[in-house]
Structure 1
Amino acid sequence: MRPFDERDGPCGRRVGGFGLVEIMVGLAIGMIATLVIVQVAAMFEGQKRSTTGTADAQTAGSIAIYAMQRQIQMAGYGLPVFSAQNQVLNCPDKPLMDADNDPATPDIGVSITPVEIINGANNGNDQIIVRMGDTTSGGVPLRFPSLPNQNNVLSCRDGDVVLITNGTKCAMTRVNGVPTAAGIVFDPVITDPAEGSFACLGPNWLARTYQVVGNNLQEGATQIAGGVVNMQARYGITLAGNVNQIAPDAYVDALDPEWGPAMSAANRNRIKAIRVALVIRNSAMEKEDVTSACSSLTAAAPTGLCAWAGTADNPAPAIDLSADPDWRRYRYRVFDTLIPIRNMIWSADKL
């Protein structure tokens, strides 16, 4: 008979179980497994946030570009740009108009430039102003006198904005009352130019401003897309107003005095397109830097966060996000597109 062992139970049977060492080993294995699971879950969650954020940025950028493209390519709608006689684009910008119908207040200059870029200070966000009418007549030019046997009075309605053109002279007024057999009445009456032709632009000569406010792209006060941290724009120009071919690097900055607020009518008529770069940010902040600055504004194949490839004679616009000290820890998508201005292109043979 074997001697008694403390592990023996009643009736001489050995009792099984875990000792302290086995329990410690089991706890260690469980803790390691838990740490691995947590680490894998954290990595998966980070990758999911990056992927989801990139998809959101892609969607926001596509919506923003689509919305801007629809309006910019229709810029200048309502202007009688198809008329070779009294071509409105030969007029200087900002013909005068009594906007408040009060003769005691000074008239204001209303810009007829289809698209205008306001350059952002210190490489900041640019603004794009798109102007067009809301007429149903499509900018049909009418001749004086404004009698129904000489003009289709249905193209003008009570309250319509009217653009009167005679050579290089232009003025704006409004239709006062429903056109009748007696003709169309303007208020205020325009005496200079007193002849020529006129076009009814609709109840409003609209000016839509696209700008980045608080990381949102807005049309006026209406938000179009979120996550937009920068917008840069350039004019696509031709050699002359009656030419439609834009050279590959013929993009000019509104910062240039020739293309700023005081640009001439001849230069305005050379603008046939707008090149836009929108920078959309992924909302997920990474733990380390994942984005670098643009390596060159003049290289054909730059690296980093760049608007587009530039040349030595025509550098690309700089994208400055340094206002946020953590900007390198975000991922970005840059949407670059060239938007033709249809009404300026269709008017080329009349300039």
Structure 2
Amino acid sequence: MKQSRSSQGSVACRCRQSGFTMVELMVAIAVGLIVTLAVTGAVLTMGRQFRITGANAAAQGSAQIALSLMDEAGRSAGVGMYNNGQPLCPTLNAAYGGAVRSPGDVFLAAKIDDGGSNSASDTVTFTGSSAVGALSGTPVLEATTLNNPIKVSNAGSFQLNDLALIGAPGSGQPCTLFQVTAAPTTGAVCGGNASTCKTLTRATNATYNVFATPPSYGFSTSGTVYGPAVVNRLGSDFQQDRFAVMCGALVKYNAFVNPSPTCTQYPLDFPGPNPAAPIAMDVVLMHAQYGISASAASDVVTGWVNANATGWSSPTVADAGRVKAVRVVVVTRSKEPDNTLVTAATCTNEAAVVNTGPCSFADAATPVIDLSATAVPAGRTWRNYRYRVHQAVIPLRNVIWSN
């Protein structure tokens, strides 16, 4: 029996090796790239969102800290400026380093300087001292003139280099700020008004002892001598804590020592001695208002006024006594802009006050926010950013308690 040809030799195997064609490989690479780009885009978006959220949280936290520092300054405003329930004086003579800082200016525990428009920031200054312990006035026992030592009762705990205010409450005369330049001494020559007294030396070459034409103070009023005068100890510092928006930050500095600090662009740098300290970043606007009472004798705030309102850019002595609180609005901005307009063009509060940007307080007297002039990078508008409004009401406790 014959076998077929195929069965006589090796059997041919017609097999094809498996693999990818060029087309299949290119499709696979394209799909992989698409997936990779999608994942990378999602990661970048999440990272950017994380940065935005973190920056917003940081801005919010720093703004809250800033408001707490302002509240603290408000609590100490007016320390050492009152005696027996009344201001030590209506006006103030004060100098620093040979330069007169207050030539008989009306004394305000809190002073607001208006920025000039709804889109410009105001500044707020709280005046007080670093005194600790009892702040009751010490009676002046002997008349004193321009450069003479001041003789007071032994009740005061004065020390070398202390700052103090001398004034005659109710006389209408200004107080004078001075520095004790020698260790106080005790003696028996007290103008016949006490058996012992303490002498406070005030050398004219001291940092604070620049006297223009201050009144003469004494135990009682007699001719050109005004009394009964008292001396209030202020401790080591006379402070004017000023809060202002500079270089995209809310800063704090002692305006009595350094009235006009300057800063360079972000990151912040304040050259020179006694520089300003940044306390909140990414701040674009701050507005403040006086909380006023109907009269100096009342502690009830009956209204809120801007510092540019009639009569309030330079308050009179009578109106200065009506200021019992300050309220502040601070607007912070997110660091990262959005590709779309994420902030509404306007906001109208409950009292129909229209803001170019977010709203703050709900009453009709609220400060008007205008962010249209806020500086932004090229290709962006102020509406590409998110904003947060922080607000606080700061009672002037020393003013209220001393009333």
TM-score range, shorter-chain basis? Answer: 0.7 to 0.9
How much does 1:149 deviate? Answer: 9.0
Q: Deviations over 1:236-285 (max 9, x none)?
A: 112122222224xx110000132112x12221111111101111111111
Among 329, 332, 336, the residue aligned to 1:284 = 336
SS in 1 for 2:45: helix
- 2:125 aligns to what? 129
- 2:369 aligns to what? 318
Cα distance change, pair 191–222 in 1 and its aligned pair in 2 (3 A): same
> How many residues in Structure 1 have an aligned counterpart in Structure 2?
328
CA distance in structure 2 between the partners assigned to 1:101 and 1:180 by the alignment: 27
SS in 2 for 1:276: strand
Question: Partner amino acid for 1:47?
Answer: Q
How much does 1:190 deviate? Answer: 4.8
SS in 2 for 1:308: coil
Q: Deviations over 1:54-90 (max 9, x none)?
A: 2111211111111111112211112224x14xx326x
Deviates more, 1:217-226 or 1:146-155: 146-155
- 2:208 aligns to what? none
Question: Partner amino acid for 2:90?
Answer: P
CA distance in structure 2 between the partners assigned to 1:51 and 1:129 by the alignment: 32
Among 238, 244, 255, the residue aligned to 1:211 = 244
Q: Deviations over 1:150-198 (max 9, x none)?
A: 4413246544232312412233042342222223235468515532232
- 1:177 aligns to what? 182
Q: TM-score, normalised by structure 1?
A: 0.82
Asked if structure 2 preserves the Cα contact closer than 8 Å seen for 1:92 and 1:264, the reply is: no
Question: Which consecutive residues of structure 2, in runs of 5 or more, have no partner in the other structure?
Answer: 5-11, 143-149, 188-197, 203-210, 218-224, 254-275
Q: TM-score, normalised by structure 2?
A: 0.73
More strand by share: 2
CA distance in structure 2 between the partners assigned to 1:62 and 1:315 by the alignment: 20
SS in 2 for 1:18: coil
More helix by share: 1
Deviates more, 1:211-220 or 1:190-199: 190-199
Question: Which consecutive residues of structure 1, in runs of 5 or more, have no partner in the other structure?
Answer: 2-9
CA distance in structure 2 between the partners assigned to 1:335 and 1:219 by the alignment: 17
Asked if structure 2 preserves the Cα contact closer than 8 Å seen for 1:228 and 1:278, the reply is: yes
The reply on whether 1:143 has 2:139 as its aligned counterpart is yes
Asked if structure 2 preserves the Cα contact closer than 8 Å seen for 1:78 and 1:137, the reply is: no
Among 132, 156, 179, the residue aligned to 1:153 = 156
Deviates more, 1:49-58 or 1:195-204: 195-204
1:257-296 alignment runs, 5 A limit: 257-261=310-314, 263-296=315-348
Question: Partner amino acid for 1:170?
Answer: P
CA RMSD of aligned residues (A): 3.0
Asked if structure 1 preserves the Cα contact closer than 8 Å seen for 2:65 and 2:280, the reply is: yes
CA distance in structure 1 between the partners assigned to 2:17 and 2:95 by the alignment: 106
CA distance in structure 2 between the partners assigned to 1:166 and 1:186 by the alignment: 22
CA distance in structure 2 between the partners assigned to 1:299 and 1:115 by the alignment: 27
SS in 2 for 1:73: helix
